[in-house]
Chain A
C-alpha cells in the first residue's frame, strides 16, 4: 500500500474540484438566478404598470380640467347672456348706446354691470359695453370709458355673434387677456353694441392649479397659440407667463393634437403627461407629472422587493453553505482519516456516520481498515521472523568464515613445515635417500603443496565472505597485467601441452585504476580453471574494451564444457560440475567462487557460456576507472 493513491487528484482545469465549492455554487445559482429573474420581471411589470397608470391618471386629470374649463367658459357666456336679458341692465345698455353722453344712462349701466360683477362665482373682472365703432361707453372700470377697442382682435367678430377672444397679450401688461362678448341688439335685430367681459385670469389660474392627485410636481397649465406663452402660471418659480415655452406636449397640443406620453417638459424635467388642443380658446392644455415622483411609489415597492429578494437569496446561500458543509464535512473527515491511515497510522477509524451513504462509506472504510491492519500485522510479523532468520544465517556464515580463516592459518603453519622438510629431504640436504624413498617423499611434497593451495583458496574465500578483504586502487597497465599473467601461466600451458595465447585490445586505455593484484588473481583463477578442464586444444585470454565504461577479461578454452544445469551453481563454493570431477581434475573448487566474489567487490560481474565437449568462455566485466576520473573522484 502506498500513500499516494489517496492524495486528492489535481483539479481539472477550469472546473471547481471541491465538492463543497460545487455545491455552494450550485446553491447560489439555484437560489439567486430564479429570484433575479422573478424580480426583474416583477420590476419591469410594476414599472410599466405604474407608468401606464400615471399616464391614465394624467389623461383623467386632463379630461377633468377640460370639462371644468368648458363648464367655466360656458357659465361665463351664460352670465353675459343673463345680463343682456336682464330688463334693467338691457334697457340701460341699449339706451346708453343710443345716447352715449347721457350721464344717468351711464351711471345706471355701470350700476347694473357692477351688480353682476359682485355675483358670487363670476368669472369676470370687468364688464364693458362698446358701440359699433369700438368706443367704450360704459364699464365697471371707469378708466376704460372713452377707450376705443376698434383695433382689438375681438372687435369685428364680437359685433355679429357671441364670441370668445383667445388669450392675447395686451400692450403695457405682462399677461394675457381673454375677452368674452355678446352682441347687444335692438328690437329689429340691429347690433347697437357689444357687452364684453374680461375673464378673470386668476380664476383660470386657480382652476388650473387645483392639483387634486398631482403630488408635489404635477401641474396643469394652458399654453397660448400666440408665441406659446403660458396662459396660466407655472406652479414653479422662475417661469414667467410671457415667454415662449417648448416641449413635446406643448408643440403637439398647439399643432392641434391630443395625446399622452413620456417627455421632457418645458422645465427640462422628465414627465409623464397628457395634452389636448382646445380649439375654442385656441390654447393647449397640458397635464403632467414628474416621472420621478409619479413612479416613486413603484420605485419604493421595487426597492422593497429587491431587498426581500436579496435577503431571501442570502438566506438561501447560507442554507446552501450549511448543507454543503453538512455533506462534505464527513467526507473531508473520512479523507483525513484515510490519509492518516495511508500515512501508516493503522489504528485510526472513521467516526460512525449516520444512516446515509456517507455513514455506509465510513463503516465500509472501517471494515477495510480492520482487515488491512490484521493482514499487515501478520505480514510484518512474518517479515520480522524472516529478517531474524536471515541475520542469524549471516552471522553463522560469518562465524564459519572466521573459523575457516583462522583454521586455514593454523593449518598452513604445519603444512609449510611439512613442505619445507620434504624439500630439504628431496634436495638431499638431509643425507642421501634411495630412489624409492625419493619417490615417496616427492608424493608427500606434491600433496602437501596441493593441500596448501586448497587452504589458501579457502582462506581467501573465507576472508572475502568475512568482509576482511580491502581493495587497493592503484594505476596499472592492462598490457603489463596481461604480460605478467602470460608469463606466470606459460609453463602450465607447456606442462599440459596446450596452446596458450593472450590478446590485448588496442582500444583499451593504457592506464586504468584498480586493485591490480586482485584483477590478476581473477585472471589467473579463470586460466587455471581453463587449463584444468582442457585436455587438448588451446586456451586464450583476451582483454577487451567494450567501448563504454566497462572492459572485459575473456578466457576461452576448448575443454570439456559445462552442462547447462550446472551453469547455475559453478560459482558456488566447493562446486565442481560433478562429484567425480573433483577427483579427476583436482583443485579446491573455490576458484570460481573467489573470482565471482572478487569481481562483485570490484563492481563487476562474471558470465559464462559453454557447450559440453566444445569448451567454455568466461567473461569478467569490470568498470573502467581512468586515472583522471579517479583523481577527480578523489578531488
Chain B
C-alpha cells in the first residue's frame, strides 16, 4: 500500500506548540484567577478613536482601501515617525499599513529571505519571530541574552551566534517579554554590527511609545541604518487598539515594494474601519497616550518593588508593560513556578521559557492590569514564595 503522506506540511508539523497556548488552557479553567499573563492593554481604545471608527461605518466606508493603506493614514504615519522617532519616510513608497505589527514581521521575512538564510533572533522574545522565520524558509538562529545586561543583546552575543549565510537580524525594543529597552549607544553599536555583516534589520518597535524615563531609540535612526532597517510599528499597545489589528512597516522602497506584493496577495489591505480610526489616534490622542503611559509607569514601580521585596530579583524594565523577575530563589523551574502559583494562589504569570530557552529561571508578569489586581496578585505571590523558599 502506498504510504500516505501527512496532510499537514512538515515544516508546520515541526513548529513547536506555543508555550503560551498550553498555559492558556490551564488558566481558562480558572475564571477567578488574577491574570498577569495578558499581553495587551487593559485600557479600552480611547473614545475619540472608537468614535472615528463608528463614524467611518456610518458613512458606509466598508470597501477595500488601496493595498498600501489609505493616503491620510500613510501621511499621518510618516508625520508620526518623523515627530516621535526622528526618521522620515515617503508615504507613497516607503510605508505600508499592515494587519497588526505581526503581519509586518511575517511579510518582511517572507519578502527578504531565500531558503536557508540565517535570521538572528535575540531571546527571550515575542513568540512569533522564530516560527515566522522558519515558515518563510529561513534558518532561525536563537541568540540568548542574559539578565547580566538587563536582557539587552550585546554585539558579542550576536558575534557568537552569527554564522555564514546570516542575512537578517530581528530586534525588538522595548521588549516583550522582558521590558528591556535599548539605549541609543547600544542601538548604534548593534546597527554598526549589522552594517559590518551586511544584515537587514527587522526592528519591531511596537512598544516605542511605552518607555519610562528615557526616549525610545529607534533602530532606523542610528547613523546609516535607515537603508537596512525595516521598522515595524503598530497601534495595539500605546493606543490600546489590539482588536483593531492595525500596524505598519516603514523602510527602503525596494523592500517595501516586495512586502506590498506579499501583503496584497495575502490580505489585500488592512481593515478600512481600523485605518480611518487610526488617523484619529495619530492626530488627536497624545494626551490619552500620555495618561496611559503615566498609569503603566506607576504600576511598573509597584510591581518591580514588590517583586524585589519578596526576593524575586527583578531588573528595572524601562519599557513595554512587563516585568521579568528571576525566580531562582524558589528553586523551581519557570514552568513549575507558573503552574504552582496558578494552582495554589490563582495568579497567572507566563513561564519565561515560552519566549526562548534562555527565559528559564524567569517569568513574565504583565502589569497591563488594574493596580488593585496587581497589588492583590503580588500579595498572593509573596505568600507563595515564602511558602516555597522559606
Q: Do A and B bind each other?
A: no
User: Which of B's residues lie within 8 Å of A, judged by CB?
Assistant: none
